[in-house]
Amino acid sequence: MHLAYPAVLSALLFSTGLYGVLARRNAILVLMSVELMLNAVNLNLVAFDVWLSKAARDTLHSGQALTLFTIAIAAAEIGIGLAIVLAVYRNRGTSDIDRLRDTAEGHEDGPPTDGTADEKAEATA
């Protein structure tokens, strides 16, 4: 098999994941898109490892070892990411990234939280 087939598939997977990260508003879908991008990188690592191992007989298969390491890191990342998303959903009631960003920047619909009530009353009087 030629190296071009997995490289093209990896590029398509990575592009799809990048589109998902940039276009989605749901935090769960963004995490899934990041995982898709990591899988594209893993596919490239394995494909190039197999391609390079054909040239030299005695290789360590470092691309496949790095892929296993990347899979372990991705599993930990998705576990922590889902825990954070669930905690934010419990506190805020939404997993919409735009709403979460707006509340973090102070653009929420409620009253402003800077200053005390006495200072505001004196400023209006």
pLDDT by residue (tens digit) across 2-27? 899 999 999 999 999 999 999 988 88
Q: With 80 as the cut, is the pLDDT of residue 116 above it?
A: no
Q: Which two tokens stand for residue 89?
A: 């959903």
Return the pLDDT at 41: 94
CB 117 within 8 A of CB 124: no
Backbone φ, ψ for residue 106 (5° rounding): 85, 20
Mean pLDDT of 26-53: 91
Say what the pLDDT of residue 52 is. Answer: 83
Q: What is the pLDDT of residue 20?
A: 94
96 phi and psi angles, rounded to 5 deg: -75, 125
In this predicted structure, the answer to whether residue 98 has a pLDDT above a threshold of 90 is no
Check if the beta carbon of residue 112 is closer than 8 Å to that of residue 123. Answer: no
